[in-house]
Amino acid sequence: MPDQGLRRAVIIASCFALGVALTVIAAHRLGAFEDPQREMKNAAQRAATALAASAWEEPAGNNVKEITKAALERWPNAEPILDVRRRASRALATQASALTASDVARAEHLVALALELDPNNAQARLLDADLSTAAARPPPATATAEPLPEPEPKPEAAKQRRRTPGEAKATSPAVARPPASSAPASPAPAASPAPAPADTAGTPGGRWL
C-alpha cells in the first residue's frame, strides 16, 4: 500500500511538471516573456527604414502604411510609431506639391495618403483644398475659328459663267471701224504717159537697115 501511494504521488507530480513546462513553452512562443517596448521599437525601426526608401504602400507587408497601422493596433498611441507617420506625411505632401502642375492624379493620391498617415498635416490639408477647387473649376473654353463665308458672286460674273460658248461669241465686242465719211472719195491720180521712144534717125550714123 505505501508503494502504491508513492507511485501515485510521483505520477501526479510528473503530470503537473509536464503541464507547467508545456505552458511555459507556449507562453514563450506567444511572446509573453518578451519586452513589449522592444518589439514596438523594432516596428518603429522597420517603419523608419521603409520611410527612408520612400516605400509608402509597396512592397506588401514592408511599407510605412502597413507597418505603422499594424503597430498602432497593437500599441495604440505609441509615440515612435506616430512620429514615423508624421514624417512620412510631410514627405508625401512635399512630393504632391511638386506634382500639382504635371500629374494631378498622382498628386491627389499622395495627398490622400498623407492625410491618412497624419490628419493634422496642415500642408497636406491645404493642398487637398487647392486640388479640390481646381477639380471643381470648369475647363476654359477653347476658341474655335469659324470658317469665313464665301463671297457671293456678282450678278455680271454669274451671268458670264452661265453663258455658253456660242453666246460668248455672239456677245463679244465688235472690232471698232472708222465711220464712213459723207464726202465723195477723191479720184485717183491719172497715170502719167510713158515716155516716147527716142528718135534715132537724126543721130549720126543713121539707122541700120
- State the Cα–Cα distance between residues 63 and 69, nearest whole angstrom: 10
Q: Spell out the domains of the chain, with CATH numbers in brackets.
A: 35-136 (1.25.40)
The CA-to-CA distance between both ends of the chain, in Å, stands at 217
Q: pLDDT tens-digit profile of 4-21?
A: 666 777 777 777 777 777
Distance CA 153, CA 207 (A): 93
What is d(CA 207, CA 79) in angstroms, rounded to the nearest whole number?
166
Q: How many whole angstroms separate alpha carbon 66 and alpha carbon 71?
A: 8
For the chain (length 209 residues), average pLDDT per consecutive 10? 66 76 70 74 96 95 96 95 97 95 94 96 95 73 59 56 53 51 49 50 44
